[in-house]
Chains A and B, each alone.
Chain A
Amino acid sequence: MTYKKFIIGSAAAFALSACGGAGTEAGDVASSATPAETKVDTRDILQGVAAAEYSLEKSHAFMTVKIGHNSGISQYRISFTEFNGKMTFDPENPEKSTILFTINPASVETNYPGNYKESHEGSEWNSWNEDVSRDKKWLNADEYPSIKFTSTSAQRTGDTTGTVTGDLTLLGVTKPVTLDVSYNGSANPPWFGERDLIGFDATTTVKRSDFGMAAFIPNIGDDVTVEFSGEFLQDE
């Protein structure tokens, strides 16, 4: 197993309880008193990363969908709060990486600030989150409890960028989609020991009508832009 010190912790520490372990007040890499052999060229951010299986580090991962509202005068945001990802990643052959993502459509978060019941009289749902996740014209989660992306190929487009193509299954319909992906580097926070933590951004735009969701187009946009940013932790 390869091990790369990317962030070097110094003696002072304070707790970041949400991160699940002790945080570090790290000094500047160049100025910290570290042995010469651990000095790393931080510009080659693929170096020393383990070729391995990785799983989503769920407390540092975000999946948001943007969709045009009122015929695109603004972008409406919906986030998913429950999703998982498993990846095989080989830094020397990143185009051979594979990924499987699953999203729970019942985990929609719209941050709706109003009184849903008052402004949606006659709706069978108790909240806008519930409406978007369970209504048949939106995510119909009772009938389709999982949204899935399974990669089928990947291509490198630059030092740390690429595309990943795969099958997206949404509302029971499976179509190929292509993600634009960028690899952001790796880290080795002390609470994960020698296990590498790698970070990615990914985005794609799909037409929801391709998957049978066509309600209120074009007032509510057909184009749906999915944005992901998050970290994956090397499996033990």
Chain B
Amino acid sequence: MRNLAIAASLLALTVPATMTAAAEPTLDGVSSGLYELEKTHAFLTWTVRHNGISGYTVNFTDFDAALNFNADAPEESLIQVSINPMALETNYRNASKKAAWETKLSTDKRFLNGDEFPAITFVSNSASLTGEFEGTVSGDLTFLGVTQPVTLDVSYGGVANPPWFGQRDVIGFTASTTINRSDFGSTSVKHVVSDEVVIEFSGEFLEAE
């Protein structure tokens, strides 16, 4: 927290008090090369429609990613993601039943079947720019033992250099995609839980040392 306070006071010296909007993103001066997910500032959720009338959102709380980022040609970047289906957060209200519900979601063959398939993975094979800081990333998603091509909509949020990371760049992204779980063999509870699953990510990557 001390470092955060120093960063904040440095910002206060250089940033007008009236400025509340975030700076525009830039790729200028951003390092190219290997970046690792900065796990304390990274969020990955999946959302299904429940009863057809509301979004049911679950957080993956243990996932990792390695990004090979090309700041001069972002469309040549590559990413690999690995997600642990046994680590979920549902915000389920009933404290005495919460762990059992999350375990059921993780391990039940109707849901994430995590004992049989201990990792959900995404390996990209191509990307293209659709705007200055937006693009799509395509690759193979392996879920429930089935591999299918998926495409993510991605936007680059910019670069930061918090003092506690020294010269190492921190770059941020937001990404999303929608999959049909039936494409991966998941067809359970069809009329309570939608086929479509919206996957959303927002988070930061730290330049590898």
Chain A residues with a Cβ under 8 A of chain B: 6-7, 16-19, 23-26, 58-62, 64, 66, 68-77, 79, 81-82, 109, 111-114, 119-123, 184-187, 189, 197-201, 207, 209, 215-219, 221-223, 229-231
Contacts and interface: CB of A to CB of B under 8 A. Distances in A.
B52 interface: yes
Contacts of B145: none
B55 A19 contact: no
Contacts of A23: 189, 192
B160 interface: yes
B92 to A, nearest CB: 7
Contact of B203 (A74, A200, A217, A231): A74
A218 B15 contact: yes
Given A74-B172, A230-B54, A111 B160 contact: no
A150 B26 CA distance: 41
A60 B51 contact: yes
B13 interface: no
Interface in B48-69: 50-57, 59, 61-62
A73 B170 contact: yes
B20 interface: yes
A45 B129 CA distance: 39
Contacts of A64: 57
Contacts of B162: 70
B8 A216 contact: yes
A206 to B, nearest CB: 12
Given A7-B191, A66-B202, 11 more contacts: A17-B101, A23-B192, A60-B50, A69-B41, A76-B43, A185-B52, A189-B51, A199-B50, A218-B15, A218-B22, A231-B53
Contacts of A109: 89, 91
9 contacts: A71-B158, A73-B171, A74-B172, A76-B41, A187-B51, A197-B53, A218-B22, A219-B8, A229-B47
A62 B174 contact: no
Contacts of B181: none
Interface of B: 1-2, 4, 7-8, 11, 15, 19-23, 25, 39-43, 45, 47, 50-57, 59, 61-62, 89, 91-94, 97, 100-101, 104, 157-160, 162, 170-174, 189-192, 202-204
With most chain B CB atoms within 10 A of its CB, the pick from A69, A81, A109, A122 is A69
B91 A62 contact: yes
Among all A-B residue pairs, the 7 with the closest Cβ atoms: A199-B53, A72-B22, A73-B172, A74-B172, A26-B191, A229-B55, A70-B160
Contacts of A123: 1
A198 B53 CA distance: 7
Contacts of B25: 73
Contacts of A26: 190-192
A109 B91 CA distance: 8
A111 B61 CA distance: 7
B25 to A, nearest CB: 7
B157 A218 contact: no
Nearest to A72: B22
B20 A217 contact: yes
A122 B54 contact: no
Contacts of B4: 216, 219
B104 A201 contact: no
